[in-house]
Amino acid sequence: MSRASLEYLKKLAKERLREMRRTDPKAQLAAAQRDIAREQGFPSWRALKAELDRRNASPLAFYGQREFGIRDPNGVELMFSQPVEPPA
């Protein structure tokens, strides 16, 4: 996947939706997003967004996700930013 930003891909999906609605007025944004995701090599928009989020996460968040299975990058940052009390 090229270094496409999420904002760019969102814009692309909206343009695709306009194109789709020329032939199918009931076309939905989710279908356009799925098309864009598949063109980028992902099975769904959700998978594409998750990969972009992973790539844009801080190294600390990436480590926390990999080592501890924590999915929320903000949660990882918060976890590692809290002072740790030494054992008594």
pLDDT at 5: 85
Question: Taking the CB of residue 9, how many other CB atoms lie within 10 A of it?
Answer: 20
Tell me how many domains the chain contains: 1
pLDDT tens-place string over residues 30-79: 999 999 999 999 999 999 998 888 777 666 666 666 666 656 555 555 55
**72 vs 24, higher pLDDT:** 24
Answer whether residue 87 is part of any domain. no
Confidence check: pLDDT of 80 > 70: no
Query: Does residue 1 lie within any of the structural domains?
Result: no
Structural domain range at position 48: 6-81
pLDDT (0 to 100) of residue 39: 94
Q: pTM of the full predicted structure?
A: 0.63
- The confidence score (pLDDT) of residue 56 equals 74
